[in-house]
A and B are shown apart, each in its own frame.
Chain A
Amino acid sequence: MTEADVVVLNESGLHVRTCGVFVQVASRFKAEVFVRHGDVEVNGKSILGLIGLAAESGAVLRLRADGADETDAVTALQELVESRFGGMN
């Protein structure tokens, strides 16, 4: 299992389009991906789960992956979030 914390930098938080890109990237990996915000943890390949986290700008997310390519998955997702999802608002 690989874990990492990451901060949401986008001004409007984890909005619908960012969740969509997150799911697209997460789904490229075989590993199961989970995202925790506060007490709630959801499937990182479920866009509705991610949207339901209601994560705002500045929220800390814990990424967790389990499976053969778990390290790559966590690294890629961490970079994605840190880059503000490629420069979205």
Chain B
Amino acid sequence: MTGIGASPGIGVGPVMVVVAEELSVREFPILPARVDAEVAFFENALACSRRDLKQIRNGIAAELGESEAAIYDAHLLMLDDPELRRAVHSGIRDQFRNAGVVFRDHMSGVAAKLARVEDEYLRERRADVLDVERRVLRYLVGGGQRGMSGLTEPSIVVAHEIGPSDVAMFERDRVLGVVLETGGRTSHAAIVARGRGIPAVVGVKGATQAARTGDLAVVDGSRGEVDFRPDEATRAKVEVRRGRLAEADRVLRELRTLPAETLDGHRVELGINIELPGEAAIALEVGADSIGLFRTEFFYLGRAELPSEEEQYVAYRAVAEQLAPRPVIFRTMDLGGDKVASYLGTTHETNPFLGYRGIRFALQHPEVFRAQLRAIYRASAHGRVRIMFPMISDLDELRRASALCEDVVAELRRAGVSHDPKVEIGIMVETPSAVWVSDFLARQSAFFSIGTNDLIQYTLAMDRDNERLAHLYQPLHPAVLRSIRHAADAAHARGRWVGVCGEMASDPRTAVLLLGLGADELSVTAYELPRVKAAIRGVTHAQARTLAEQALLLPSAETVEELIHRTLDPVLPANVLHNQNPS
């Protein structure tokens, strides 16, 4: 059966079909003398559910970050819903009905309004409501909290859908794979499965009918395939494929402790990009030298008010501490563009990528910006911290942002708050204007980090979200390569180092080209780091430089691409060229 591959890897094991447990609610009258006790019984069920949910919420927040925890905040709000409590209290006191029945009726009433099954968005909302209903009913009629505890042995979980609270119970050792009839790649179940490295396929229609508890099943989350009761031949093939995946994985994993160094001994700093503080641990797992881009926007988005300095400090400190002595580059808030935070007064713009965003936005909100800088500087006492400003397009912006940093340092010194006064301050080079004034910018910044995603769209004047222009998104366009070379030369002329943190760096072949163009540091997607490292270790610095010189002479992206394949394919190891899907 096929579905959507939601979390990569292959899981083989016995099936456990999980059906929503029957929580049958009996109706009975409440004696007038017992109404207070029944109300208290209901409130206690809410309190217990609240306690369980908070625990799950904090666990998920620590593991996957605050934004993934937001769904549990919404569940907590349901427990505190004023209308729900009014309805249940009144049902008990005025109609003498028992708490379980009144509560169930209220929740079912909400769920019924979302019953148009053809609409996936509504179905998801209904699933959340039912999830909370079951959670509370367990205390009203059942024995309290439940989870994946029904699994007596490591299993492949097959279910129609799994609510956020059940997902949180997934344990890597007990759940070998997940198959759901509902959901998409971005569903909560998919995100948690990916976060915990559990293979998952979702959107498999009819899976619970086809599967039988106890049967052997194969879940291939990389391809989005599920096989219940596979025959001998299939099982043998899967074992071979699993073996190859494991072998490729092992070879790349062995690189973990080896440096990103070319055959002729040229060392590159190889870091990863992260979005959530919880991802810092991944840097250590994959053997990164640093975090080359920590996007800090998550703190400002999807919430109703500004994050406090303290809240940011705690999270930043945790990341700096985990990585120490390796460096972490904190990119200061890059709001605006496609990321807006309502409470900061951002409004709809017709051309947001050319609008009020990045450093332009930060300099207009000095108090918000200052709070973030203070948090970063305070965290700098606990690790090796670097700061980088987004969307710089001239020297004046850099000067004003740096002046704020100096203010913050002076403030912290006066107050006796520990910090590192020598934090390296650099900039993102992602606008054509920054490229062309890079000689001025290099005087005032310790490093450049070239943000290729935006640099490509600004240089080629193409909106990268416009599907009709997808063919124009050409990382290897001569204008892009010349821009990178120009900025790198300007930095080196001042003795500054240059990094690249866009998607371009995550492609092993292009990474070699970037090295030749002058990159001293690359910051990549964690998942691609081993392959990029293997590519760097497969060439000499001289080869990379020659490749770059030749590429700069070619007139089009196609010819550059051809050159790269012709030059590198014979040289690089097979597990670098053919990625995660050897068949």
Contacts and interface: CB of A to CB of B under 8 A. Distances in A.
Contacts of B70: 17, 20
Contacts of B301: 86-88
Interface stretch (B203-211, B336-344, B481-489): B336-344
Interface string A60-72: 0000000000000
Given A16-B128, A45-B82, A85-B342, A80 B110 contact: no
Interface string B358-373: 0000000000000000
Q: Which 10 pairs between the two chains have the least Cβ-Cβ distance?
A: A83-B342, A20-B74, A46-B83, A52-B113, A52-B110, A47-B77, A12-B121, A16-B128, A87-B340, A16-B74
B42 to A, nearest CB: 15
A4 interface: no
Nearest to B113: A52
B222 to A, nearest CB: 25
Given A51-B125, A82-B348, A86-B341, A24 B77 contact: yes
B302 to A, nearest CB: 5
Interface in A30-89: 42-43, 45-49, 51-54, 56, 79-80, 82-89
B472 interface: no
Nearest to A80: B342
A86 B302 contact: yes
B57 to A, nearest CB: 12
Given A48-B110, A83-B346, A16 B71 contact: yes
7 contacts: A20-B73, A45-B82, A48-B110, A48-B129, A80-B342, A83-B346, A86-B301
Interface string A14-26: 0111011101110
A1 B110 CA distance: 28
Nearest to A84: B340
Contact of A21 (B121, B125, B302, B347): B302
B303 A21 contact: yes
Interface string B258-300: 0000000000000000000000000000000000000000001
A80 to B, nearest CB: 5
A25 B77 CA distance: 12
Nearest to B80: A47
B84 interface: yes
B304 interface: yes
Interface in B314-373: 338-343, 346-348
Residue with the highest number of chain A CB atoms closer than 10 Å, among B70, B116, B121, B128: B121
A48 B110 CA distance: 7
Interface string B48-88: 00000000000000000000001101100110011110000
B109 interface: yes
Interface string B107-145: 101100110100101101100110000000000000000
Nearest to B303: A86
Contacts, number: 101
Interface in B176-217: 186
A85 B116 CA distance: 25
A85 B302 contact: yes
Nearest to B297: A87
A52 B114 contact: yes
B121 A51 contact: no
Given A46-B81, A48-B83, A54-B122, A86 B74 contact: no
Interface residues of A, number: 33
B137 to A, nearest CB: 15
Interface of B: 70-71, 73-74, 77-78, 81-84, 106-107, 109-110, 113-114, 116, 119, 121-122, 124-125, 128-129, 186, 300-304, 338-343, 346-348
Contacts of A49: 81, 83
Given A12-B121, A21-B303, A85-B302, A46 B340 contact: no
A20 to B, nearest CB: 3
A35 to B, nearest CB: 12
Contact of B82 (A13, A24, A46): A46
Contacts of A43: 82-83
Nearest to A28: B304
A45 B430 CA distance: 43
Given A46-B84, A48-B107, 9 more contacts: A13-B121, A15-B124, A16-B128, A47-B74, A48-B78, A51-B125, A54-B122, A86-B300, A86-B302
A76 to B, nearest CB: 8
B125 A16 contact: yes
B342 A86 contact: yes
A53 B110 CA distance: 9
Contacts of B109: 52
Residue with the highest number of chain B CB atoms closer than 10 Å, among A16, A20, A51, A85: A16
A29 to B, nearest CB: 12
Residue with the highest number of chain A CB atoms closer than 10 Å, among B107, B110, B186: B110
A53 to B, nearest CB: 8
Given A84-B340, A86-B302, A88-B302, A20 B77 contact: yes
B163 to A, nearest CB: 11
Nearest to B114: A54
Contact of B340 (A23, A25, A42, A83): A83
Contacts of A47: 74, 77-78, 81
B110 A17 contact: no
Given A16-B71, A46-B81, A56-B121, A83 B341 contact: yes
Contacts of A82: 342, 347-348
Nearest to B76: A20
A28 B107 CA distance: 25
A21 B341 CA distance: 12
A48 B88 CA distance: 14
Residue with the highest number of chain A CB atoms closer than 10 Å, among B107, B125, B186, B338: B125
Given A52-B110, A54-B114, A15 B341 contact: no
Nearest to B116: A54
B113 A54 contact: yes
A50 to B, nearest CB: 10
